[in-house]
Amino acid sequence: MFASRGTRAPRWLYRGAISASKARTESSVGNVAEVVSGIIQDVRQGGNAALDKYCLKFDRVPHKRLSESDIEGCLKACSSQELADVKYAQNNIRRFAQLQRDSMKDVEVETQPGVILGHKHLPIRNVGCYVPGGKFPMIASAHMSVLTAKVAGCERVLACTAPMPGGDPGRPPNLTVVAMHMAGADEIYLMGGAQAIAAMAYGTETIGSVDFIAGPGNAFVAEAKKQVFGKVGIDLLAGPTETLLLCDDSVDAEITTADLLGQAEHGYNTPAILVTTSEKLAMDTIARIEQELKIIPTAETAAVSWRDWGEVIVVDSDAEMLEVADEIAGEHVQVMHRNWDYFKQNLRNYGGLFLGVETNVAYGDKVIGTNHTLPTQTSGRYTGGLWVGKFIKTHTYQHISKEASVEVGDYCSRLCGYENFAGHKEQADVRLRRWKPGYDTKYYEGSQNQTLLSRPGAK
């Protein structure tokens, strides 16, 4: 790693045991592909019975489509403050998604006399949105996927999440269901895991398949999305969350500790990385994290992530910090630096960028308006995160005049001939014979396409 740098390399003052032994592109869970493949094939072939086999195994109850009365029960279970908070977050997310949608313009232009080319932005008709549940029900993922799909104009949006763990089996995560409903979901199901992805992709006797699946999830959900891609489209491979802090000495260890552990609590396999030009900040952060892990309520998960996946890296300059960050391509990149604009202007590979000490990843995760479904495991090198444009297809079209057809056809006929595509060439030639007086169709012959022969029967 970091093989491209000069004589001095970044120094790890702390590196989790698993982080040191795995590439950033590797899954943090072993045997995922094989397990997920079996689940998908079972659900694809066995429909509801296979789906419920896995739902019973992992969620303790069969899958269920929530009725209007079920949703009403979830609404009644939520406080007025909870509902107001969800509404505030959804207003912010809707506003930014609508701004993004408005930026996507249809195009129609006459590129040369008689040639009209254009493109149209068309929403995907059937969409499935996966909302993570379990110990940490991801209420915000309902806003990020369902609401964004509806802003895009998707006609049918199916949303699913797992029932609550522990307690009575089959309990819905009330506020998550309410968020799905408020965001505009047309169908809401209690089902989670790779089996839910398979059901959305292939359908069952009672669940209509979708054309596109969006939403984050654990390693099994991310792998399931990878394996159904092709049958359906997917937003991106958003696996276990990651956070990367880029800091100089203008920030203190209280802030860096909070921002690292704020993401490490997601699960047992969350990379949380600090890259800094300040060795003092690095040492202070390591010490403070150890103290904080003794008191925070989510230490059970955060401590394991920090032990196995945490990193503290010291670099010599902002330029080196930029290079390290681009290579890591972190999901969340938080820049707390006197000159954060330098990173805004120059950083190329990341999921979402959080600039200045005033903001943080939690704002983006929950409420501020940008989408929290972001690329992980270095996929920020080739894609951005979920946004309204992911739910929209861009289709081109063309129409031309007869005069333009003659001009374009002349070139097209010869270009097809160079490639020995006689059928393609004839598509141009049949129009040229009609609309270009005296046109003599020629065929190319010879390995170098040098010999022109007249069309048999040509006059």
- Quick count: other Cβ atoms within 10 Å of Cβ 318? 17
**Class of residue 294 by CB neighbours under 10 A (exposed 0-12, middle 13-18, buried 19+):** exposed
Q: Which residues contact 359 (CB under 8 A, 6 or more apart)?
A: 334, 368
CA distances from 11 to 263, 278, 314, 431 (A): 23, 12, 5, 68
Residue type for position 236: L
CA 89 – CA 145 distance, rounded (Å): 13
The residue count for the chain: 459
Element (H, E) at 395: strand 392-400
DSSP lists the bridge partners of residue 14 as 312
- At residue 34, the 3 state secondary structure works out as helix
Tokens of 98: 């609508």
Torsion of CA 148, 152, 155, 160, to 10 degrees: -20
CA 370 – CA 364 distance, rounded (Å): 6
DSSP lists the bridge partners of residue 160 as 130, 189
Q: Which residues contact 394 (CB under 8 A, 6 or more apart)?
A: 119, 120, 121, 122
The 8-class DSSP code of residue 229 comes to B
- At residue 137, the 3 state secondary structure works out as coil
Q: Which residues contact 443 (CB under 8 A, 6 or more apart)?
A: 417, 422, 425, 452, 453, 454, 455
Tokens of 459: 């006059």
Catalytic residue from among 143, 331, 337, 372: 331
Is residue 332 among the annotated active site residues? yes
Q: Which has the closest alpha carbon to 141: 170, 171, 177?
A: 177
**Class of residue 52 by CB neighbours under 10 A (exposed 0-12, middle 13-18, buried 19+):** buried
Chain centre to alpha carbon of residue 57: 28
- At residue 438, the 3 state secondary structure works out as coil
CA 341 – CA 47 distance, rounded (Å): 52
Is residue 395 among the annotated active site residues? no
Q: Which residues contact 430 (CB under 8 A, 6 or more apart)?
A: none
Catalytic residue from among 332, 358, 395, 424: 332
Decide if 272 contacts 261 (C-beta within 8 A).
yes
The residues that are catalytic are 331-332
